[in-house]
Amino acid sequence: MLETLNLENVLFLDIETVPEVYKFTDLSENKKELWDLKSAYFQKDELTAEDVYDRAGIYAEFGKIVCISVGFVAQKNGEHILRLKSFYGDDEKQLLSEFNNLLNSYYSSPKYLLCGHNAKEFDFPYMARRILINGLKLPELLNIAGKKPWEISHLDTMELWKFGDYKNYTSLNLLASVFNIPTPKDDISGKDVASVYYEEKNLDRIATYCQKDVVTVVQLILRFRGEPLIEDHNIIET
């Protein structure tokens, strides 16, 4: 499949999320109770709901998206060109609306696919849930209700690496190392995003980090296909 895949029909992406409020104490009393119930299964060793609140950002009911970065691959003079674009800001509804406009305007045909790392388990469902929570309509590529597995246009580099091994989880950073791809974690990692957002208020830094993950996903697909990596001078921010 990968050998015949037209990379120009793939939208590569990654998202960054944070808890809806920075501190557990900032939650409403109702949300505190709901988080206590949600987090009960990993409150171990006498940990409380507040102790594990740093995980809230990975749940769409308790978090929000602060950045979506996307990558478009094209051919120029026999070489792959990668163009990057990020939608980010404090207004989640606005950035999701802009992302939806991209999908609806240019990626509404069945020939297009979305691709990310662990995206079937995290990015795609998280985006779909937050789109609905914000009162927006799901774009076709994320509207999978009632579709058969082969009708869903989603590609996941972690799933490709599993080769049917359902118990296996492999991080993007580890695969980057294995395939000699420059690490995307040379500045911050996922656990730092909330503090960078709430304390540093540095969305540009988060967007840069998010784009690096997109670049790594693209490079990983190329490695899976046995093709050379895209050179730095052919990676363009738009």
For residue range 51-98, what is the model confidence (pLDDT) as tens digits? 999 999 999 999 999 999 999 999 988 899 999 999 999 999 999 999
Give DSSP secondary structure letters for 21-35.
SSSGGGS-HHHHHHH
179, 180, 186, 190: CA torsion to nearest 10? 0
pLDDT mean over 40-51: 85
| Nearest partner of 70 among 109, 119, 4, 121, judged by Cα | 119
Compute the mean pLDDT over every residue in the chain, rounded to the nearest whole number.
94
pLDDT at res. 90: 97
pLDDT mean over 30-40: 94
Question: At 38, phi and psi to the nearest 5?
Answer: -65, -40
Per-residue pLDDT reduced to its tens digit, 151-206: 899 999 999 999 988 777 899 999 999 999 987 777 788 889 999 999 999 999 99
pLDDT at res. 43: 76
Q: Strands of 63-76's sheet, edge to edge? A: 154-156, 113-116, 10-19, 63-76, 79-88, 235-237
Question: Sign of dihedral through CA atoms 132, 56, 16, 158?
Answer: negative
Give DSSP secondary structure letters for 89-129.
SS-HHHHHHHHHHHHHHHS-STT-EEEESSTTTTHHHHHHH
pLDDT: which is higher, 19 or 110:
19
pTM of the model: 0.95
pLDDT at 134 over 90: yes
pLDDT at res. 167: 75
| Nearest partner of 136 among 103, 88, 90, 89, judged by Cα | 103
Instruction: Give SS3 for 143.
Output: coil
- The DSSP H or E segment spanning 12 is strand 10-19
Hey, where are the domains in the chain? 2-20+62-237
pLDDT mean over 113-141: 97
Instruction: Give SS3 for 57.
Output: helix
| Nearest partner of 96 among 68, 120, 72, judged by Cα | 68
Pairing of strands 235-237, 79-88: parallel
pLDDT at res. 213: 96
pLDDT at 41 over 90: no
Beta bridge partners of 154: 114
Query: Looking at the chain, how many residues does it have?
Result: 238
- Fold type of domain 2-20+62-237: Nucleotidyltransferase; domain 5 (3.30.420)
Cβ 177 vs Cβ 52: under 8 Å = no
